[in-house]
Amino acid sequence: MELTYRPRRLRRTPALRAMVREHHLSATDFIYPLFVHEGATNEPIGAMPGAMRWSLEGLVQEVGRAWDLGIRCVVLFPKVADGLKTEDGAESFNEGGLIPRAIRRLKEMHPEMAIMTDVALDPYSCDGHDGIVSEEGEVLNDETVSILCRQAVAQARAGADLIGPSDMMDGRVGAIREALDEEGFEHIGIISYTAKYSSAYYGPFREALDSAPRVGAGKPVPNDKSTYQMDPANGRESLTEALLDEQEGADILMVKPGLAYLDIIYRLRGETELPIAAYNVSGEYAMVKAAAEKGWIDERAVVLETLLCFKRAGANLILTYHACDAAQWLSKG
């Protein structure tokens, strides 16, 4: 064949492929999500093989392991005892609560590790929603935002580096930015869950935290989060959310879930100069783990390919439960 262009010329050897490779993964791309509880021992999470609810001391050890592997940021999620859950989620801003204590302990033992937190009421709510649920069954926006601001300030006082509002209430980024600034925390960043979809991929996460909506709680509690999280059918709406979050002071924008929403990451990358994070969520993690346990896929190859695809779509950062495994695999070449 008389061909002028033969793209395979640059695929012929590992050296040539490495020379023209467009995107690369490193451990510093990862934010490692960690679950913490009040127990004295670490508890395996059934739907997430390899993941744990960590005790405080177990958390300290795991964060140290992550640091040694090159990971430079973790995000904390609490498993809160039912007795502390209320309709207004007041435990969320208790400065002696689980997350503030965990932050302080980690900053004592691993001061250089960046700590991101989650700002939402669902772990602290007896109704299982990210916001306050009225007697009529409506998730209240403005009343919730005032609680979220108190939660963010409590986390900042404990030493958090990045505040992550995951609730999807309107106006919460601007309100949290103002609340942080008023308390002298101008230096604390906001990584906003900008395009967080009402997704079926969150199931294992809700098992880990026991944070699913609790229908039948004595009032008409919504059985899903579709009145505030985004409709999976919508793409253009993510641009509206991104514009608002950027105007309100977000430092990093996030898309959640990640793998099924690569097109959203790509859209946002073309519209903003802010860093973009992708959340490789619990359902995505669990499916890979289940298939790997069956021997149906090569776990290492699939995980590294998936994480690389987030980078190719335009993500700068990836929240992933595979973080430590991926960091180890990358270090071995």
Active site residues: 196, 256
CA nearest to 28, candidates 275, 211, 228, 249: 275
Contacts of 208 (CB under 8 A, 6+ apart): 35, 45, 47, 48, 51, 53, 77, 79, 282
* Long-range CB pairs of 11-15, under 8 A, 24+ apart, other chains included: none
CB contact at 8 A, 70 and 325: no
Categorise residue 89: left if φ over 0, alpha if ψ from -120 to 50, beta otherwise: left
Contacts of 231 (CB under 8 A, 6+ apart): 197, 198, 237
CA nearest to 207, candidates 38, 79, 104, 55: 79
CA distance 232 to 3: 44
